[in-house]
Amino acid sequence: MNNKLIILSLLAMMLVGTSLCETTRIPASQDVYIGLGTENGLVVSKTDVLRCEVNVTDVNGTKLSSYPGVPMMQFNISSLNITDDDIGILVLKASSIEKQNDDSALFALLSIGSEWNEESDYTAFLINILPAWNIIKKNDLTLMSINTDGDGTLSFDVSEKLKEAKAKGDSISFLLEAISNSSYKADFFSREGGQGPYLMVMPYPSQTTANPKPLLNNSSQPPLSLDKKNIPDQKAKTMADLQKIESANKNIIQNPILSLKESMKQTAALPSVEKMELKT
């Protein structure tokens, strides 16, 4: 099972409700997107979208990448109580995705510093990106959280990053980067748009809290149980009714073969498919 299916399964558990476990949802407190490469100096805040874009050009046979859109998002985790068994997932919802050809594309999520807000200047954003800059330059995917599905909702496991950030302070920030061999652009909803980035934190479900029930019953008739007594009907209000039920229970226990034959007679009494077709 790939990571996407695992994360989606966990999200489904979160959305069922609080009957199994309690879910904490934290919206982004700050979000912007900036330009890296040819668009140096670009900072866009207080807009309805967060643009994540890579622009790939071919110069004398060499592909050069610039990043006109790099989303940055920050979360306030001051009130979050996270334990070793908790799961943290970051989700973003895309409003549109555009690509030039069929080249595969992926999105990479990296932790960055949190000494910034939506009013900060470009230099402040670069300073906070420094912890992740070497990873970005090397394109070392082993040190990134990766999403390769290319659908309208991105999800990333950030459990360990959350625990490390909580041990240091009350905020955590991330940078989202598009990686592709050709130009690729996606617009994600920002917090101003009402469907911005979210952190979802929950305890990992255990067998003691979950009580799964079968979705389908393989038979229209309940299985024959020779060691189980009949359950009295709610309508059996008189002593005579109760005595009849008690007598039937004794017959089932004392003569299980007779009970089995009676069950077979009931089954044989059902109309066959062929007879039903002839009548119609």
Cβ–Cβ < 8 Å for 141, 121: no
140 and 100, same domain (yes or no)? yes
pLDDT beyond 80 at 24 = yes
101 with 235, same domain?
no
- Does residue 86 fall inside a structural domain? yes
Token duo for residue 27: 């919206």
Q: What is the pLDDT averaged over residues 127-141?
A: 80
Structure tokens, 102: 């069929």
Residue 196 and residue 227 in one domain: no
Tokens of 3: 């990571």
Note the pLDDT tens digit of each residue in 203-248: 988 755 555 555 444 444 454 444 444 444 444 445 566 566 566 5
- Residue at a domain's end among 169, 203, 237: 203
Q: Helix (H, G, I), strand (E, B), or coil: what is residue 19?
A: coil
The whole model's pTM is what?
0.66
Whether the predicted pLDDT of 111 surpasses 70:
yes
Domain that holds residue 265: 220-271
User: What does the pLDDT average to over 78-85?
Assistant: 92
Distance CA 3, CA 106 (A): 14
| Domain end position, chosen among 147, 178, 203 | 203
Is residue 261 domain-resident? yes
- Backbone φ, ψ for residue 141 (5° rounding): -70, -20
Within a domain: residue 116?
A: yes
Per-residue pLDDT reduced to its tens digit, 32-72 = 999 987 656 899 999 999 999 999 888 888 888 889 999 99
246 shares a domain with 192: no
DSSP β-bridge partners for residue 185: 53, 98
DSSP-assigned states of every residue in 41-63: T-EEESSSEEEEEEEEEEETTEE
